[in-house]
Structure formats: structure tokens, C-alpha cells
Structure 1
Amino acid sequence: MKIISYNVNGIRSASTKNFFCWLQSTDADMVCMQEVKALPVQIPEIIALIEQLGYHHYWFPAEKKGYSGVAILTKIKPNHVEYGCGEEWIDMEGRILRADFDTFSLMSVYLPSGSSGDERQVKKYAFMKFFDGYIDDLRKEHPNLIISGDYNICHTSMDIHNPKSNANSSGFLPEEREWMELFLNRGFIDTFRHFNKDPHNYTWWSFRANSRAKNLGWRIDYHLATVPMLERLKRVIILPDAIHSDHCPVLLELNPA
């Protein structure tokens, strides 16, 4: 089973860059998208393409137009889809969507960015605090859980091209990195690092200074899996040659249950 996580930075924009030809070539079973920046009613042509590729599709957009929003595409119809998390401001921004299947649950998540200023950084910390308790409760009912998405956090210095100059940058702040460490230690696997311990593997690049061509990036997109999923992990790879966004997709493959 192939699961892709991809911050598309606008599904309409990505669709103009051969996104759907690329998606078809991946033969992915499930796709978690972040920053879709659209309501389904605004993109009928895109919805038609998704359905032609054989996907059921579920969307949780932000109330603000052209902002945030998550989606899950899946060739396997879920038993249940949970829209949001019940926290009003988070749900208004369209940041959490979950699909439950027979043997595991899959979540598409988009953590806030704090790069635009102190107010948004405070919101990011509030999300992180809420998310801890929310996931702790959720795992009691859904112990086989994969949380895929854009966390807007580099976990270690290996996950960012210049840790010294970015020491005070949102996304690499000590408090954010500590949160990620504690979150993983509560029973999650960073699936990419489970297979690959090498540096210079990134999932996001600034549009400035030719950063992508120089591979001056950040690894902020993850598939985090609960420990009971360990034996099902087959491989995880970053796909930097897929260029439809300032992010790139991350592919997780699972063994049969």
C-alpha cells in the first residue's frame, strides 16, 4: 500500500503543473494533501480528474478562502471520516482530517506556521499543546494511527540546511524541536528516519535564492506512525523531483496487515 503526503500549496496551482499526470504515475492508494486552498465547489474540473483516477475524496477546507485546508484521496473507501478536531479555531482553519480503515487510521494534518509573526507563533504553540491531548485521547480508540502532513517543524539539525543561521527561525526553535521530540517519545515513529539516517533530505525549499536547485531546504513534512504500525512499515522516500509546490511529496509504503 502506497500513501503520499504532499503540501500542494494550492491544488489549483499544482494542477497546472501536471500534478494529476504525476499522481497517476505514482499509483498511490491514498494521498494526504495540505494547503489545498480551495473548496470542492470551486474546482469541479479537478474533482472530476480525481474521480477519474479512482479516488474517493474528502475535503476539510478553511473558512477563509484561498487559505490552508486539508484533504484525503483514497482508492479504499473508509469506514468513517472525521472532519476536524472539535477545537473551533483549528477547525476554522481546516487543519485536521482523519479517515478510518479496517486496520489503521490515517490523518492529514497541517500545523500552523509561525513565520509571519509573534501572533501566529503563539497560535502554533496553542495548536501543539492541544494536539498532544487530542492525539493521546484518539490513540485509545485508534491505536494504529498514521499522522501525515506538514508539521512546519524541523526535528533535528540534520533536517535543515543551515541550523546555526536558523537557530531563531520559526520551525527550528528549541521549543518546537523539543515538542517534536516529546511527541515522538510518546509512542510515534518518524518513519523516514526509521529507514534513512542521512543528512540533506528535505521536503520544503524557499522560493528565494534558487534554494531548491541548491538543496537548501527544510524537512518539515512527515509520516508519523504509532509504534503498533512498526511491522507494517516497508519503506519511506522523499520525492524531490516532483515539482508542483514549494514542498515535495513523501511516500510511505506499508506491508499487508
Structure 2
Amino acid sequence: MRIISLNVNGVKAAAERGLFDWLRTQDADVICLQDIRVTAPELEQDPYWLDGYWQYCFEAETPSQGGVAIYTRVAPKAIIMGLGFESADRYGRFMQADFDKLSIGSLLLPSGRDGDADLNQKFKFMEDFANYLNKQRRKRREFIYCGSLYVAHLKLDVKNWRDCQNEPGFMAPERAWMDEIFGNMGYVDALREVTRESELYSWWPNSEQAENLNLGLRFDYQFLTPGLRRFVKQAKIPRNARFSQHAPVIIDYDWTLSI
């Protein structure tokens, strides 16, 4: 099973840069997109339609302010939209596809990089989502969350980590939140399960210098319940596949989707 996760920063612009032509060559079983910025009826039209996939969308109340989507080759047993709290559901920040013994979610956090109000919204979302994740661990099924989290967890996930410690995305409270998820809660960072390679970044500032010097951060993840740890086969973040400020996170699992 191959899962691709990508924050598109607006699916219209990403499509114009060739996203869907690229996706058709990737042999993905599930594709999770974040920050689509369109309505569900718009996403069902060309050029966003992918033959051979079931397609689902949870749009933001104001479509230009978020939204997530899931494409899957296997029809899910159920689709769940929203997390039940305002900071998530108003902006279409989460949806989940349920299969046999496995659920896959597409998740978008506030970036926190657009001023104090955005950062405060991010911290509130993180608190509410941590409570949600804690409850999910009690369920008798496995979960894969494909998330654009806008948080770099470790020093090796940031090019110049010393310079980023006071910036949203690598602040101490954000990293502590990640420590809790991957520590006490027991969730697994799929990429770090198979590689400790540095400079595997998924987001870069919009500047020529950032591109040339690879001044990136790893803001995008696939994280899992611990029962899936042994099923992670390989992971990559291809920097040359760029359709937004983010690069896609591609994980292959020794798992077959079924209903």
C-alpha cells in the first residue's frame, strides 16, 4: 500500500503546476491532500478528477481558507468529516476514511505563521487534537494520520535549527507537543521509522535563497498507531516533486487495503 500526503496550498495552483499529471504516475493506493481551497463540487471536476479513485472532500466554511481531500482506489466502509471542535471543523481540517481494521485521515493544522491570532488558534487546535488522539488509542483499529502539522519535531528536521527556535514551527511548546504524541501516546513517525537521514524537509520559505540553500523544515508527516510500526517499508520526500511550498510525503506499507 502506497500513501501520498501533500499540502497543496490551493489545489488549483498545484494542478496548474502539474500535480495531477504527476499523481497519475505514482501508483498510489491513497492520496491525502491538505489546504485544497475549493468546494467539494469543484474538486469533482477536471483537472482534479483521477480515474480509478473514489474521491472525498471536506471543505472549509469559507473554501479559500482550508479543506482536505482523500482519493482512494478501494471504496471505504465509511467517511468521517470533522473532529467535533470549532477550530477544526470550520476550516475543514480533518476527514477520515475507514477500511477493514484501518482508518486513514487527512489533517491540516493552522500554520501559526500569520500573526498572534493564528498562533493562538494553532495552540488551541494542538490541545484539542491531542485529547482526540489520546481517545483514539483506546479503539481496536489502526490509524494512519497524513498531516500537514507545521511543526518540525527534531533538530535534524530543520536546516538551521538554532535560528528557528523562536519561530512558529520549531518553538519549544510545539516540539513538546510532538514529544507527547511520539512519546507518551506511542504514535509512530513513519519516516523516522525507516531513516534517520537529515535534510529531509517538506516545506521551504518562498525565497530563492531558501531554495538554493535548502533552508527547509519537515512540517509534513504520516504518523501511525504502534501496531503499524512493522508494516512501514520505505519512505521518501522527493524535493523535485514541487507543486506548492510543500513536498509530498510518500510512504510504502506492507499492508493491503480491504473493506
- TM-score, normalising length from structure 2? 0.94
Aligned counterpart in structure 2 of residue 176 of structure 1, from 174, 177, 180: 174
Opposite residue 224 of structure 1, the aligned amino acid is: F
1:88 corresponds to 2:86:
yes
Please show how residues 1-257 of structure 1 align to structure 2 within 5 Å.
1-46=1-46, 49-50=49-50, 52=51, 54-185=52-183, 186-256=185-255
Q: Which secondary structure state, in structure 2, belongs to the residue aligned with residue 149 of structure 1? A: strand
Identify unmatched segments of 5+ residues in structure 1: none
Classify 1:176/1:151 alpha carbon distance in 2 versus 1 (closer, same or farther; 3 Å): same
> For the aligned residues, what is the CA RMSD?
1.4
Q: Which secondary structure state, in structure 1, belongs to the residue aligned with residue 14 of structure 2? A: helix
Q: 1: distance between equivalents of 2:126 and 2:84?
A: 15
Instruction: Give the aligned length.
Output: 255
Opposite residue 234 of structure 1, the aligned amino acid is: K
Opposite residue 143 of structure 1, the aligned amino acid is: R
Q: 2: distance between equivalents of 1:70 and 1:42?
A: 13
Q: 1: distance between equivalents of 2:203 and 2:180?
A: 23
Q: Give a deviation string over 1:139-163, Cα, whole Å, max 9, x none.
A: 3225311111201000011111111
- TM-score, normalising length from structure 1? 0.95
Q: 2: distance between equivalents of 1:114 and 1:162?
A: 19
Identify unmatched segments of 5+ residues in structure 2: none
Query: How far apart are residue 45 of structure 1 and its match?
Result: 3.1
Q: Give runs of ≥4 in structure 1 deviating > 6 Å.
A: none
Classify 1:71/1:200 alpha carbon distance in 2 versus 1 (closer, same or farther; 3 Å): same
Q: Give a deviation string over 1:20-75, Cα, whole Å, max 9, x none.
A: 1100110101011001010022345336632x2x1101101111131211111100
